[in-house]
Structure 1
Amino acid sequence: MKLLSVAIPCYNSAAYMRNCIESLLPGGDEVEILIVDDGSTKDNTAEIADEYERNYPGICRAIHQENGGHGEAVNAGLRNATGVYYKVVDSDDWVNEEAYMEVLDTLRKFVHDNVTLDMLITNFVYEKQGAKHKKVMNYNMALPKRQLIDWNGARGFRLGQYILMHSVIYRVEMLRNCGLELPKHTFYVDNIFVYQPLPHVKSMYYLDVNFYRYFIGRDDQSVNEKVMISRIDQQILVTKLMLGYYDVTKIKNPKLRHYMVRYLEIMMTVTSILAIRSETEENLKKKKELWQYLKQQNFTLYMRLRWGFLGQGVNLPGKGGRKVSIACYKISQKFYGFN
């Protein structure tokens, strides 16, 4: 059994996937690198995946599948994982080697001591193209450093500060037991990946290292604001799915409940902001319909989100109201790293 399984979803990624894979190779035999070719047809992604499997047997595995989208590539990685822990690294991102070694040391110790760790959290760095100053997302104020805790041991997360796919490593068995399966052909499912397992997380550990390097800056990237506006229906779909997983108002642990409510709040805010920024009546109507959907599904949660700071900020009428939305936009920008 491997210590860590790393899935790399690849779709026509030949231009940058080597950099990602090479950054993970120093993990050696304890790590399996699952290169998931998600039906690439426009370049030699499939051949590169096979090349690494050939050159690094027992470490790299090429998985070829019909195109199913980012979520299905994550699913394929999880289905094939033989490691104790599971990490997703997108093909245009990479990891820092020094932090990587600390991550492996930490995971190894938990396994050696036979202590169950459900979720390891690390920092990530926004590698924004052209930016001299690299912004680091850390959790210093939200979580005690290098301590095994449950949700009761967590502190308060700031508004706009969330555990994202870039910062999380999950225990494989826990993910499988909670029934995680991301929808096919859907963007923004990374939110589901870090949200749906949370009530199943009984132990977590924050390692304060800048491990994951999150590249943003390509025009065709899914977090490009114009691209996100064009895919607002996808954002709405993911938000509705997340609203339906749990009645978060009834989650018993108050810290977990607060965190999950806040996460849904940012999802509603991001969708609303995209609709406002699009300046089209069609999208503003979709925004209104989403809030009505929430009202019908869970009135208690609707009242909490609609009349919170962000909910009010994205629902004020007229041009004056939309100016207030700018503050909400900045929080959304921090969450998604719009480029």
Structure 2
Amino acid sequence: MSENLTEHEGLDQQKPAERDVTVSFGIPSYNAAKDLDRCVASILDGADGAQDIEVIIVDDGSQDETPALADSWAARHPDIVRVVHQENGGHGMAVLAGLREARGTYYKVVDSDDWLNAEALASMLKALRSFIATGERVDLFISNYVYEKVHEGTHTTIGYKSALPQNRVFGWEEVGRFLPSQNLIMHSLCYRTDVLRRAPLPMPAHTFYVDNIYAYVPLPRCLTMYYADIDLYRYYIGREGQSVNETTMIGRLDQQFRITRIMMDAYRLYEDISEPHLRRYMMGYFTMMMAICSVFTKLSDDPEKPRQLRRLWADLKEHDPAMYRRARYGVVGLGTNLPTRLGERATIGLYHLAGKIVKFN
């Protein structure tokens, strides 16, 4: 794992005096000059001048005006905004840099081209402050996120009312079934900081899709959770070259394979995870990762990709036969690995139909 993690220099600015911080917002930023102001302003507006938050902008080796913009935010709000300038390491290294510097009881990642809803943020802060004030330990705060297709003027909310209890603390034993569109992704999660720090996160440098590791590996450490049905995170979709753009995903399929392998190696779910509801959820998440690998192998023109996919399935079978059987021969696995050219076309058609319904790219 150590070869995937890199150490970076500390803050360019001196840390302010220690104070109680409810939540640290880490903003990974690479060439984000066009969007950074909106992102930071959305957090400060939602916090309404509160001094118990901090914003950590991580300038990940940007080549545009991002470093200057970040420094200007810190100069205007020195008690709240801090900046890390580091050599480019990719999204995962920027997330880890923010986590390393965080002083909040909770830590939430907000990508620089996304933003938070002010009213929902105020609601989240009220809940987190209550947990701290009463001494009630909540390891994971969950909220909704919204796909913002600005160029289309459409909004698609992903919520969890059908799967999770609302507005109270609960454990995995109370969790229901998640739809394939309801995975808990980075945008819906706010972890207790000590949960994330309890064990290293295997986030590789210069690799996209590390948010899947962030949303998967720490879950067994989360014993208590709280779900608020608020549309907090606004996830911008439609930027050219965005990591979830179909053409971009085809070109980065090797990275998708790499992330899926890291998730596979993290657990033998049927040996390591005893809580059945948690195991079922994690199995569903991992199955979707394998399905993505299968679908985009079919979309790719690279003749090496089918061989790599077969190797991935074979390695999964050796790693955990039970995980293999459920991922490969469940409904999703069968539907995304149909044989023959006709089957491939059917798989791709189903994927595009799902994309139109859920609007995930």
Q: TM-score range by the shorter chain?
A: over 0.9
Q: Would the aligned equivalents of 2:158 and 2:181 in 1 still touch at CA under 8 Å?
A: no
Change (3 A) 1:73 1:144: same
Q: Which deviates more, 274-283 or 151-160?
A: 274-283
Q: Please give the per-residue CA displacement for 1:63-108, whole angstroms capped at 9, x wherever unaligned.
A: 1111110000000000000000000000000000000100000100
1:5 maps onto 2:41 in alignment: no
Q: Would the aligned equivalents of 2:299 and 2:348 in 1 still touch at CA under 8 Å?
A: no
Q: Secondary structure at the match of 2:181?
A: coil
Structure 1, unaligned stretches of length 5 or more? none
The letter of the residue matching 1:242 is: M
Change (3 A) 1:181 1:52: farther
Q: Would the aligned equivalents of 1:249 and 1:261 in 2 still touch at CA under 8 Å?
A: no
Correspondence for 1:101 among 101, 113, 122: 122
Correspondence for 1:35 among 57, 73, 91: 57
- Percent identity (aligned): 43
C-alpha distance in 2 between matches for 1:194 and 1:161: 12
Q: Which residue of 2 aligns with 1:15?
A: 34
Correspondence for 1:215 among 226, 236, 248: 236
Q: Which residue of 2 aligns with 1:276?
A: 298
Change (3 A) 1:103 1:270: same
Change (3 A) 1:225 1:182: same
- Aligned-pair CA distance for 1:336: 8.9
- Aligned-pair CA distance for 1:285: 2.3
- Aligned-pair CA distance for 1:300: 2.0
C-alpha distance in 1 between matches for 2:87 and 2:32: 15
Q: Secondary structure at the match of 2:180?
A: coil
Change (3 A) 1:143 1:189: same
> Runs in 1 of length 4+ with deviation above 3 angstroms?
330-338
Correspondence for 2:157 among 122, 129, 136: 136
Q: Which residue of 2 aligns with 1:257?
A: 279
Correspondence for 1:178 among 179, 190, 199: 199
Q: Which deviates more, 280-289 or 77-86?
A: 280-289
Q: How many residues are paired up?
A: 338
C-alpha distance in 2 between matches for 1:179 and 1:83: 18
Q: Would the aligned equivalents of 2:29 and 2:60 in 1 still touch at CA under 8 Å?
A: yes
C-alpha distance in 2 between matches for 1:255 and 1:325: 29
1:320 maps onto 2:345 in alignment: no
Q: Secondary structure at the match of 2:126?
A: helix
Q: Residues 226-237 of structure 1 correspond to what in structure 2 (within 5 A)?
A: 226-237=247-258
1:69 maps onto 2:90 in alignment: yes
C-alpha distance in 2 between matches for 1:211 and 1:283: 37
C-alpha distance in 2 between matches for 1:177 and 1:283: 36
TM-score of the superposed pair, with normalisation by structure 1: 0.96
- Aligned-pair CA distance for 1:322: 1.5
1:161 maps onto 2:182 in alignment: yes
Q: Secondary structure at the match of 2:154?
A: coil
TM-score of the superposed pair, with normalisation by structure 2: 0.90
Q: Which residue of 1 aligns with 2:5?
A: none
Q: Would the aligned equivalents of 1:160 and 1:266 in 2 still touch at CA under 8 Å?
A: no
Q: Which residue of 2 aligns with 1:238?
A: 259
C-alpha distance in 2 between matches for 1:288 and 1:14: 41
Q: Secondary structure at the match of 2:135?
A: coil
The letter of the residue matching 2:225 is: M
Q: Please give the per-residue CA displacement for 1:249-281, whole angstroms capped at 9, x wherever unaligned.
A: 121111001001111100000111111112442
Change (3 A) 1:85 1:332: farther
The letter of the residue matching 1:13 is: A
C-alpha distance in 2 between matches for 1:61 and 1:145: 34
CA RMSD of superposed structures (Å): 1.7
- Aligned-pair CA distance for 1:332: 6.7
Q: Residues 286-301 of structure 1 correspond to what in structure 2 (within 5 A)?
A: 286-301=308-323
Q: Please give the per-residue CA displacement for 1:216-267, whole angstroms capped at 9, x wherever unaligned.
A: 1011111111001100000000000000011111211110010011111000
